[in-house]
Structure 1
Amino acid sequence: MIVDSPKIKNLIMSYLEEKKGKPFELAVDAGCGTGRSTRTLAPYFQKVVGIDVSESQLSVARKCTSHENISYQISPAEELPLEDASVDLINAGLAAHWFNPEKFGQEAARVLKHGGCLALYCFSLVFEIEYKDKSEELTAAFNEALLILLEFHKKVVCEVKAMYQELFSAIPFKDKQRISGICEVFPLTVPEIMSFLQAICSYKEFLEQDKDKATAFLQDLEKRFLDILGESASDALGFHVYYFCLLASKS
């Protein structure tokens, strides 16, 4: 399934190396959820702390984590349980659209060391599916379904489409930048693409509002994909995901 973008990870670590330099002692993964991006940070830091408001998500994260240098705490991103000027990197992958921009910006300024960095990134809601001569048809089917789902979380969708403009403005550091158009291609089967859609907040909202309709929606989309692919229905497809990333450094 989809993992965090290796290109973004390399971008963040290069940025931190440039702005602060080693040693990399403490990273905080804010809004860590099940710890997907927390685990990718572990090899680079002496200690990584995953922060989330959901105890159920953190419970899954703990079960999935074998790194001894990772710990998890329940807390909002706007009230980090960390000392002043103690953090090398604050990371937030696919999560910062849930934060209060002003309060989060102030908290980042409080806990980051001088030279410490902030990295916020997300999908840009631009997706393409590549498979032989079926690419255009598959991409159209996916994006038609996505447009319907995005109606269920308009506020979040607006913030993501604006590439976190409000968050960017609220970051209280002069040294900041936004990078867009970062593309990763993941080999996914049709069931894996359906699982990706099931995991996004808009589908979960749809499911809560009308379970039967949401389930039928996904089944219809899967059937459409299988009809397009025919005998190739079990093959992996090239799932193109475009990301944007905000980077900032505390001087």
Structure 2
Amino acid sequence: MAFHLYKNMAFSLIYQKYMVPVSNEITNMVLSYVKGKANGRPLEMAVDVGCGTGRYTLPLAPHFKEVLGLDISDTQISVAKQMSLAKNVSYMVSPAETLPVKDASVDLVHVAVAVHWFKLDKFLDETIRVLKTNGCLAVHAFEPVAEFEYKNLSDDLNSVMSEVWETLYQHVDNSTDDMLSRYQHLYEAIPLKDKERITGIPAKVQLTIPEMIGFTHSSYMFQRFKEKDEKRAEQFIMHISNRFQEILGEETDSVRMNVHMKHYCVLACKH
């Protein structure tokens, strides 16, 4: 397992800065689902499990009286606390399998790009325990593919990114299986009748080449590559940087490209 990487402060800072930007499309979908199931009831508490540096925790804050971010990594929580600007958001170091909240007290259990690290049966048992009647579970992640759009250079840029993904895939661990199946196993394991799984949710972000290189660094797969062979990993980054330079020339560091991504989401409601 590569989870130990998330306990490294240097990696946590890279993760906060360069991981794929928060998807407003996903956040809006989750909030719409939760509010619909609440049927006008005020939303009191959300728990963001595996919150990391709080990237998806803060967007929940305006919609709940209280938001609690939980992560097993003390360094990720430390970074989250540094970034927090909302008075109703708090963070704790806690495993996903033991949620430090009361029975039937939570309107939303939320997980972004993290459930594949959990012991699923125990996490789901805890989720059912803490959710109120009509409380919701929302779990989502992004597909490990993206399409660049920039002038007439899109095909060349996408060719480079295909090389990036091909290299990163050589350093996956078993946790990635659930992501590649778009959380089908999770969906089947949820012991609630009211549930749905949505795939192919489009989202567009704008990124520079330095940000894309940073995103590569923020991947646990690249960090595993670096642990195995630091010299080859750094040579790979240099090679990719040079390829982008060949395509974009003087624009390499300044151009902002449209990056089209796809997300997937599992939603469920406790009745």
Q: Is the 8 A contact 1:101 1:166 kept in 2?
A: no
Q: Work out whether 1:235 is the aligned partner of 2:255.
A: yes
Mapped to 2, the partners of 1:156 and 1:123 lie a distance apart of 14
- Count of residue correspondences: 251
Q: Is the 8 A contact 1:88 1:117 kept in 2?
A: yes
Mapped to 2, the partners of 1:239 and 1:197 lie a distance apart of 14
Please give the per-residue CA displacement for 1:182-207, whole angstroms capped at 9, x wherever unaligned. Answer: 12111111000111111111111112
Specify the alignment match of 1:170 in structure 2. 189
Shift of 1:12: 0.6
Specify the alignment match of 2:9 in structure 1. none
Q: Work out whether 1:4 is the aligned partner of 2:4.
A: no
Specify the alignment match of 1:116 in structure 2. 135
Specify the alignment match of 2:168 in structure 1. 149
Mapped to 2, the partners of 1:228 and 1:158 lie a distance apart of 33
Q: Work out whether 1:39 is the aligned partner of 2:64.
A: no
Mapped to 1, the partners of 2:121 and 2:188 lie a distance apart of 9
Please give the per-residue CA displacement for 1:142-177, whole angstroms capped at 9, x wherever unaligned. Answer: 022112112211423321110112211111110111
Q: Is the 8 A contact 2:145 2:165 kept in 1?
A: no
- Greater mean alpha carbon deviation, residues 154-163 or residues 105-114: 154-163
Specify the alignment match of 1:246 in structure 2. 266
Q: Work out whether 1:189 is the aligned partner of 2:208.
A: yes
Q: Is the 8 A contact 1:130 1:237 kept in 2?
A: yes
Please give the per-residue CA displacement for 1:68-115, whole angstroms capped at 9, x wherever unaligned. Answer: 101111111111011110100011111111111211111110010010
Q: With structure 1 as the length reference, what TM-score do the two structures score? A: 0.97
For 1:47-196, list aligned pairs within 5 A: 47-196=66-215
Q: Is the 8 A contact 1:159 1:165 kept in 2?
A: yes
The AA in structure 2 aligned to 1:116 is G
Uncovered stretches (5+) of structure 2, i.e. residues with no partner = 1-17
**Equivalent residue of 1:133, what SS?**
coil
- Greater mean alpha carbon deviation, residues 207-216 or residues 73-82: 207-216
Q: Work out whether 1:222 is the aligned partner of 2:222.
A: no
| RMSD, matched Cα | 1.2
Q: Is the 8 A contact 1:25 1:88 kept in 2?
A: yes
The AA in structure 2 aligned to 1:209 is K
- Greater mean alpha carbon deviation, residues 232-241 or residues 61-70: 232-241
**Equivalent residue of 1:68, what SS?**
coil
Specify the alignment match of 2:219 in structure 1. 200
Uncovered stretches (5+) of structure 1, i.e. residues with no partner = none
Q: Is the 8 A contact 1:128 1:139 kept in 2?
A: yes
Mapped to 2, the partners of 1:96 and 1:74 lie a distance apart of 16
Superposed structure 1 runs of 4+ greater than 2 Å apart: none
Shift of 1:232: 2.8
Mapped to 2, the partners of 1:184 and 1:20 lie a distance apart of 26
